[in-house]
Amino acid sequence: MAELRLVKPSAAELPGYTAALQRGWSPDPVRLEKAAAEELARIVADPAGFLASLDDPEARGAPIKLPDGSTVPRLPGYRRWMWDGELVGSIGFRWQKGTSTLPAHVLGHIGYAVVPWKRKLGHAKRALALLLPEAKARGLDYVELTTDPDNVASQKVIQSCGGRLIERFNEGPAYGNAEGFRYRIDLR
């Protein structure tokens, strides 16, 4: 197995990404199957446009649809695919220019999802560790990540990269008022 790296989504890796979606994996741990179906439809309709939408550091894309159906302005951000010779998963990073804080509707700076057949191999930890210098380069003092209280695996990933639990919180009506854990990783 090749070493894990983060790659900017491109046409070369798109078949592997598409195959993972078709196998039932979703890059969105909140919207799951719905998000996977939407991404597959976008890939079929406009593969190049889909790929371009995953790298938007200027927030030029369309507004973001929240799980409750409401829309909010897009933040600068991008996704990278975790790759070890084949797709391992996806990790996304978003930020607000000029500040480390995020709007209330954005649960965290970084989100990730590993395909089921590549879990428990340290890939999420490695991907998060690779992404943190990029967040620091954007001038952020810290990043925040959230997880469900019962997602012990994700909590361990975050903690292994320096994350500390800062609060147990209500994710708000857009996310079904679910309870979450918010972690912070200091970058300075």
- C-beta separation of 171 from 177 below 8 A: yes
When divided into structural domains, the chain yields a total of 1
pLDDT at 1: 61
Mean pLDDT, residues 26-39: 92
Share of the chain above pLDDT 70, in %: 99
pTM of the model: 0.95
pLDDT at 107: 93
Query: Which residues, including other chains, have CB under 8 Å from residue 52's CB and lie 6 or more apart?
Result: none
pLDDT at 66: 84
Report whether pLDDT(69) > 90.
Answer: no
pLDDT at 30: 82
Look up the CATH number of the domain holding residue 182: 3.40.630.30
Domain membership of residue 37 as a residue range: 5-186
Query: Which residues, including other chains, have CB under 8 Å from residue 98's CB and lie 6 or more apart?
Result: 139
pLDDT classification of 83: cutoffs 50, 70, 90: very high
pLDDT at 65: 84
pLDDT classification of 175: cutoffs 50, 70, 90: confident
Mean pLDDT, residues 114-142: 97
Of the listed ranges 35-49, 60-74, 117-131, the least confidently predicted one is 60-74
Report whether pLDDT(104) > 80.
Answer: yes
Helices (H), the chain: 14-22, 32-45, 47-53, 123-137, 152-160
Mean pLDDT, residues 3-31: 96
CB atoms within 10 A of CB 143: 28
What are the pLDDT digits (tens) for 40-68?
999 999 999 999 999 999 999 999 888 88
Angle at 87 between CA 84 and CA 90, to 5 degrees: 105
Report whether pLDDT(73) > 70.
Answer: yes
